[in-house]
Structure 1
Amino acid sequence: MELEKQNYVMEVVLFELKEGTDKHHFCQAAAGLTEVLKFEISGFESRTLLHTSDERQWTDIIYWCDMEKAFAAMERLKSIPEFQHFVSMIDSREITQRHLIPTNLNL
């Protein structure tokens, strides 16, 4: 049986902030980046930023219209100041990133 083509990609990024990062400042940077995603990055659908109760571990969930747009966005974002500012507060040793596609359970 052939699976239906799904109409989105979920990008999940697990990370920790750099030691001493101000959480309020980080959230402001995340909000600024979300505005860039909404208005300047093709294929962006939505975003949710979550953290554990102790605010040590964070999860960024971004929905893209398809895999091609998700990967193209990463290349484009590398040169955008809001993205650079956002990632400058993340501990690069503690990042896990996945691009996930939904499974059709109505087989």
Structure 2
Amino acid sequence: MDQGLFITAELRVKPDVSLELAKLAIFRFCRDMESEPGCSFALPLQDKEDPRKFILWERYDDEAAHQAHFNAEHTQRFIQQGLTELVQAFQSQLLIPEQ
């Protein structure tokens, strides 16, 4: 079973940035990610206790699709806006019991 590549990324909105502006940009960024070839979903989640902290859950078909994501115009545009900082990111896979 080809399960794909799952990415969890933690973003923090910079202190001098409007939270409402950042929320809109993050939402649009995730929506744009879903138009990338090989990206099945990109879900933005906001921390309930720290509203400036966001988690992005993303799923790509493979590592090539994930790497292509960084060259996408919308990704570069989001980075250039400078609204957030990347706190951490990691790759994971589905837990599938061996038969």
Structure 1 CA distance, aligned partners of 2:55 and 2:26? 12
In 2, the alpha carbon distance for the partners of 1:27 and 1:8 equals: 27
Q: Which residue of structure 2 aligns with residue 90 of structure 1?
A: 84
Gaps of 5+ in 1: none
Q: Which runs of 5+ in 2 are unaligned?
A: none
State the Cα distance separating 1:13 from its structure 2 match: 0.5
Instruction: Report sequence identity in percent.
Output: 9
Higher-Rg member (1/2):
1
Q: TM-score normalised to the size of structure 1?
A: 0.72
1:67 aligns with 2:63: yes
Distance 2:25 2:75 in 1: 16
Per the alignment, residue 42 of structure 2 pairs with: 47
Task: Please tell me whether residue 99 in structure 1 is matched to residue 91 in structure 2.
Answer: yes
Whose helix fraction is larger, Structure 1's or Structure 2's?
Answer: 1
Q: State the TM-score, normalized to the length of structure 2.
A: 0.77
Greater strand fraction, Structure 1 or Structure 2: 2
Aligned length, in residue pairs: 98
The amino acid that maps onto 1:101 is: Q
- The CA distance in 1 between the partners of 2:13 and 2:75, in whole Å, is 21
1:24 pairs, out of 20, 23, 40, with 20
